[in-house]
Each structure stands twice: as structure tokens, then as C-alpha cells.
Structure 1
Amino acid sequence: MNRALQVVRIQTLTAQNGLVWPWIIMAGAFVINVALFSVIGDEIPGGPKTGALMSIFIVAIVSSTVLVYQVLPFLLGFGVTRRTFVASSAVLWTAWALASGVGLYLCALVERATDGWWIDLTFFDLPFLTRDNPILQILEYAATLTAMVFLGFALGTVLLRWGASGFWIITLGATLVLGAIAVVITWQHWWDNIFGFFADQPVSVLLTVWPTAVAALAGGVTYLVLRRVSA
């Protein structure tokens, strides 16, 4: 554990851009939305609503992918084991996701207090994310960010192990498999049952339990693939 914490400290220096860029990109999207809807907001019934908050989740995938692809070979050269890298990365980025969850919740509070940044804009405080329980709302943000981060880890390891060609071949294979599954579901008329299964679950479960499961699966894939990645 001490070794993992030492590597965490190293990563806070080597990966600091990755930790900051999701917030920078989201801030840029926020400024653009405020400027845009300041001009046309009055023309939108009920006030403008935007999905640009997704930018922080998308960039989280990119940042964590770059982290694995660029930082892992550097750390392996210093004798850091793959197990330690996975453990330290999980600690650092889970802490980042939790801190980001708190930050997004505070932004949502400011948005409520200012009536949507004085232009009735809904950017952070999206209806399906709003909860009376602040802890739950923070966990929803954090769990989804954690899932994105661990998906990025998995993508980064695939790039390291098989290169760009291997990455696109695996992407093609996954697309074909998912497409085949969709064909079978359509053929068997199972879509209503599947949608009903998810519709019957509380939104809080969909935004905490399922992202956590995705993060665990992606983390397992990351470790298994990293074991065969050479320095």
C-alpha cells in the first residue's frame, strides 16, 4: 500500500494535466452555453437546457486513456509493477471522481441559487440528476465519472498491448458482437422487456450501481491485459 501511495504522488505530477483538462473543457462548454443562451434564452419556453455537462465525462475517458498510454511505460521504467500502477491509478482517479462529484454538486447549488446563472439555464442541475439527498447526488456524479475513467484505462491498455490497428480491430469486433446481440433481441421481441427492466429501477440505482459495475468490469479487463504489456 505504501508503494501504491508513492506512485499516487508521482502520478499527481505526471497526470496533473489529465486531472485538470476535463474541468477545463467543461468550463469552456459552460462559457459558450452562457454566452449563447444569454442571446437567445428568452426565446426558449421553460428556459434553455443543455447536455454539455457530458463534456467532463467524455474528456475523462480521453484523459485516463492517455494516462495509461503515456505514463505507464514511464513508470514501468522505474520499476513500478503493473499491479501497483493499477492500484495507484484506481486510488487517484476514484478520489478525483469523488472530488469532481462534490464540485459538480456545488455548481448545481449555485445554478439553483442564481436561477440558472440569471438566464434560467440548466447546465449542472439536470432534472434526472437532481436529488434531495446531496450525498446521493454526489455519488451519482462520482460513480458515472469513475465508470468513464475505468473505461479509459481499458482503452489505454488495449492501445498499449495491440497498438492502433489492434484497437480498431477490437472495436470492430465489439461493434459486430453488439450488432448481433441487437439483431437477436429484435428478432425475439425482447426490447420491451429490457426497457421495462431498466425503467422499473430507480434512477439513483441506474446512476450509481450500474456505473460501478461497469468500472469494476473495465478495471478487471485493464489488469488482465496489462499483465501482458511489455515495458
Structure 2
Amino acid sequence: MSTTTTSTTAASMQPRSSFARVPAAFRLHFQVKSFLIHVPLMVFFAAWAIALGIGFWLDRVRAEGPWTAEDPFYAGASQAVVWCLAFMAAYAASHNFPFSMALSFSRRVFLIGTYLAFAAVSAAYGVLFVLAALLERVTDGYGMHVYTFDLPFLTESSGIAGAGVLAAALCLMVMLVGFGVVILNLRMGLVWTWTVLLGLAVLVAVAVMLITSNDGWPAVGRWFSEQTSLTLALWTLPVSLVVGGGTYLMIRRATPA
């Protein structure tokens, strides 16, 4: 009896792996369901409904007559939820990060749980994108050739499933960027954050100027035309890895607000 009690006590006193709290860090982002569930879903369906309403209205009033299979209506409202989730990811850095420190999560555990939460939300958005695109395809744009998700430049190259993969990859990349910008602010302060952002803007402007001065836009257009949804999704991975790795380096010394 004493041997059993001693062994049980010794086992309970063994230190737990720090990664044992990763599931709790993952669940932390879903404790308030409006954060990564209700609000993004509201934006998803509201943007979809607004795009459909505009398409149906134009179908009735435009001089050329109703939309046809040769002249359909395409809307870009499917991206609205991506930018919403970027804001929510920034919110996770500004609000959930300090809360996680109060709960004695290590920064590494919190970051792993955060990345897993972002990956789950991005995958869910990819699935919703696929289902919505399938609905538009089987109904011929709800009988009026109005499309918000089944867009040719997304679905023709790799199919609807490939477009869903691209949607999920873009969502993950944008969420990591939104999260990383706030961590950058917590680590380096407002002035240095804007210095970095303005520096990136200058680099983009210089790249645009070089492409324009060297008549490079046709080559850029050809490169994009040669890509598929799957290859574009692969191109988001280096950005996600760089941003995710940089955020890990910064959060180790970031001061929660």
C-alpha cells in the first residue's frame, strides 16, 4: 500500500512538459466566441448577401439586360472576411497576449496555441469558400449568373478545391501579419513600428518604379497568368514562415500592454 502511494506521489510530482498547456492556449482564443467565430461569420454572410443584392439589382436595371453565362457578374466580397480576421488576429495580440501572461502561459506556449488557432480558423474559411463556390456552380449563380466565390481566375486552374486551399493560405498569411504587427509594436514601440511599416512601403514603391521603368509589367502579368491557385498558395508559405518566425523572436521580449 505504501509503495503504491509513494509511486503515485512521485509520479504526480514529476514536472509537466511546457507543451501540455498548448491546448489550453489554443482554447483561449475561442473562450469569447464572438472573437474568431461569430463576428467573422457575420462578415462572411453579410458581405455575401450585399454582393448578391448588388448583382441582382444590376441584373434588373442595367441597359444591356440580365446577366448571362457569357456576361456574368463577379464580385470580390469573398475577401471581406480575410481582412476581418486580420483585425481579429491583431486583437489577439493586443488583448489575449496580456491575458495569457496573467494566466502564466509561457510566451512560446501562447504563440503555438495562437498559430494553431489561426490555422484552424483559416482551414474553416477555406471549407466555407469551397461550399459557397459549389453552391454557385450548381445553381449557375443562383439562376442569374451572379458569382462571389466561383471566380474563374481562382477556380479554373486548380478547381474549386484548389481555390479553397488558396483562400485558407491567404487567410493564414494575413492573420499572421496582423498579429505580428501588434507584437512588433509591443516589442519596439509605436515609432519603430511605423518606421518599419513605412520602410516596407518605400521598398514596395521602389519595386513598382523599377518594374514600370523597365517595362516589366507584361512579364509580371504573364507570371501571374501562369500560376494556379495551388502554386499561389505555396507562394504564401514563405511569407507566413518569415512573419511567424519573426513574431516568435519578437514576442520573447515583448511587453504586454
Global fold match (TM > 0.5) = yes
Unaligned runs of 5+ in 1: none
Q: SS of the counterpart of 1:230? A: coil
Larger Rg: 2
In structure 1, the residue matched to 2:195 is 169
Percent of pairs with identical residues: 24
* 1:157 has 2:175 as partner: no
Amino acid of the structure 2 residue aligned with 1:64 = A
Tell me if the contact between 1:21 and 1:63 (Cα under 8 Å) persists in the aligned partners: no
In structure 2, the residue matched to 1:117 is 142
Q: SS of the counterpart of 2:24? A: helix
Using structure 2 for the length normalisation, give the TM-score.
0.79
Spell out, residue by residue over 1:185-223, the C-alpha distance to the aligned partner (whole angstroms, 9 max, x if none): 4455555555544443334201x1011222111111211
Tell me if the contact between 1:97 and 1:143 (Cα under 8 Å) persists in the aligned partners: yes
Aligned CA-pair RMSD = 2.3
Shift of 1:85: 1.3
Q: 1:175 to 1:161 in 2, by over 3 A?
A: same
Q: Distance in 2 between matches of 1:139 and 1:105?
A: 9
Amino acid of the structure 1 residue aligned with 2:135 = V
Structure 1 ranges of 4+ moved more than 6 A: none
Amino acid of the structure 1 residue aligned with 2:204 = L
In structure 1, the residue matched to 2:23 is 5
Tell me if the contact between 2:166 and 2:230 (Cα under 8 Å) persists in the aligned partners: yes
Tell me if the contact between 1:69 and 1:159 (Cα under 8 Å) persists in the aligned partners: no
Q: Distance in 2 between matches of 1:138 and 1:30?
A: 16
Q: Distance in 1 between matches of 2:245 and 2:146?
A: 39
In structure 1, the residue matched to 2:112 is 87
Q: 1:41 to 1:89 in 2, by over 3 A?
A: same
Shift of 1:140: 1.8
Q: 1:32 to 1:192 in 2, by over 3 A?
A: closer
Shift of 1:61: 1.0
Amino acid of the structure 2 residue aligned with 1:67 = A
Q: 1:144 aligns with which of 170, 188, 191?
A: 170
In structure 1, the residue matched to 2:50 is 32
Q: Distance in 2 between matches of 1:216 and 1:19?
A: 25
Amino acid of the structure 1 residue aligned with 2:231 = V
Tell me if the contact between 2:47 and 2:77 (Cα under 8 Å) persists in the aligned partners: yes
* 1:23 has 2:48 as partner: no
Count of residues paired in the alignment: 230
